[in-house]
Each structure stands twice: as structure tokens, then as C-alpha cells.
Structure 1
């Protein structure tokens, strides 16, 4: 992770909500269309487990995406993500809804993005994060940049960083080692 400092670790300690984009963050940005018009997306299992760990530890995860996909709805349900905003031309409206719903301040929220439509969110959160293969223009707004690419472990890297910053990750690993 690029940008890890004492300051970003302190910011991470206050995060109670992680907002994720889909295409380019939870996926590698590829959109596959089959001959029947179905849209296929590939999600990373390790990213999914990271999300489950966050949720288990009381850190909410939300999806805000400009596109609409049945695959996203299904994957979010499988992971236990309750807040899914698809087809958002105005991602800020969804962000504001989450702030009200959970009584959050900007400093309570981290957001991961990969492209210019994510700038509106990244400038409004306490911990803006870009995935490793994000466009250069988005990296300028990030406090942290993953070394992993979107859909290839970037979200897991973010989850592990948040849990480690809060002093929780070691206990999770220890619990798995005991089982």
C-alpha cells in the first residue's frame, strides 16, 4: 500500500464505513457480454473474504456504482452487503443517504475508486483510496494507493489495512489458527 503513514493509520482507526465502486475496484473493469445479452463480471474471492471480515467486525460496506448489474446485486447479497446503490449518475446523493442513515461524518468513511466519476466521493470522505491501476487523475485525490489492481486483491488489501490499523487483524488470524 502506498501512502501508509502514521497519519493515514490514524485516519483508518476512525473508519466505520467503506464505500466501493464496482467496475475497476471490485472487478478488473472488464465487462463481458454473452450472445444472449447477459453481462458477466468476475469478482475476487479474497476481496470477498476481506469484506466479510469488515462486516463481522462492525465496519459497514456499501457499493455505489454508475452501472446496474444483476451480478453485482447477487455478489453483494452473498457477502452480506446491505447498502447497494446501482445506476447512480449522482454518486454523492447515495453518499449523503448513507451519512444520514448511519449518522456518519466524512471522517468515518473510506472510499475506493479507480476513475474520474469517483472524484466526487473521494473529495468528501476521510480516507480516499485509489486502486493500483486507477487512472492517474484519481490517484491525485487518494491518501492511499493499493499495490494490487482492481479485481485482483485491491479490496482485500484495503480491508486488511483497515483491520490492521484498528488492531483487529492479528486477532482474526489468531482465531483462524485456533480453529
Structure 2
């Protein structure tokens, strides 16, 4: 019998996220100068920081190449940021090989066709509620939250709760 997504969450050591449609809601604001601006959810950022500080591997793989996104993610403590990636499978394989990561221990959250092939390589393919139908079909976990609205927080918090690490992270910090 196949493992449930909660059982798979016990084995997750690594989170890989797309940016547009996952860490953002997929909207782009274009200025008169042609600069494309995105918004990110502060709770997603908090969960990413907690995951980094708790020892999880975090990797970002995106076809987009906005340097503001890179700065935001670096400020959260993320060092493996691959923007402007034309081949997500190649980037993912290189990342896991260099860092000696077992793909079965990876949760990848994507939302659209460019994520499809790499999502088939991981232990827990997941997506936001508003992902495209093809991605929903292959996802083992579909968040009840849309991209850019807390879907990243949802999966990080769930994994950390299953592993007993969410509440222990805050021990002594809430007094």
C-alpha cells in the first residue's frame, strides 16, 4: 500500500519551491520603466526562515530572474537560489547531487507546467490550491491555500509538525 502524504512528510529533509505562483500569487505589476514587481506573503517568509534555522535544506528553482526576489530570499537565510533556470530538472539533479540529497526526501511545490517533470522526481510533489490541473494531477499533497497566500507556510508547518519540530522550535521563545 502506498504511503499517505503525512507518512511521506516524516522523511522530508529538503524543500524545493518555485517562485511565481508558489511564493507569489503569479501576478506581476509592471512599472512604466518595464520593471516587474511581485508580492510575497510574510507568513511564507517566516516559515522559510524557521525551516532554515531548523536545519532543513531549502532550494528555490525558478525560470524567472528577478533580483529583488533573490535579495528577499537571501535575507531569509536561503543560499540555494537558482533563478533564470531554463531546465528545472537539470538544476534539481545538480542541486541534489552536489548536496548529497535523496530525491525521495524532497518536497517540491510547483504550480504550472514548467514544474511538471521535476515534480515527478521527488518524494512529495505538492502544489498550491490554484495550481494548473496537470500539476494537481501529479501532486501527492494539494494545499488548501493559493500560491502567494500562505501555501508555502502550510507545507513547511505541516512537515515540521509531523516531525515534531514546529512547536519545539518555539520552546522558550514564546514566554
Does residue 1:7 correspond to 2:1, yes or no? no
Residue correspondences, number: 174
Q: Does the 8 A contact of 2:54 with 2:169 survive in 1?
A: no
Q: Give how far 1:71 is off.
A: 1.4
Q: TM-score, normalised by structure 1?
A: 0.93
Q: 1:34 aligns with which of 26, 31, 35?
A: 31
RMSD: 1.4
Q: Does 1:159 align with 2:156?
A: yes
Q: Do structure 1's residue 86 and structure 2's residue 118 form an aligned pair? A: no
1:112 & 1:100 partners in 2: Cα distance? 19
Match of residue 128 from structure 2:
131
CA distance in 2, matches of 1:9, 1:96: 25
Deviation, structure 1 residue 6: 6.7
Specify the alignment match of 2:22 in structure 1: 25
After superposition, the C-alpha distances for 1:124-146 in whole angstroms (9 at most, x for unaligned) are: 00010011110111101100010
Match of 2:92 among 92, 95, 115: 95
Bigger shift: 111-120 or 7-16? 7-16
Q: Is 2:171 the partner of 1:142?
A: no
> How far, CA to CA, are the matches of 2:69 and 2:109 in structure 1?
16
Give the unaligned 5+ runs of structure 2. none
Q: Give the distance between the partners of 2:143 and 2:69, measured in 1 at CA.
A: 22
TM-score (norm 2): 0.95
Long gaps (5+) in structure 1: none
Counterpart pick for 2:58 among 54, 58, 61: 61
SS in 1 for 2:59: strand
When residues 89 and 23 of structure 1 are mapped into structure 2, their CA distance, relative to the original with a 3 A threshold, is same
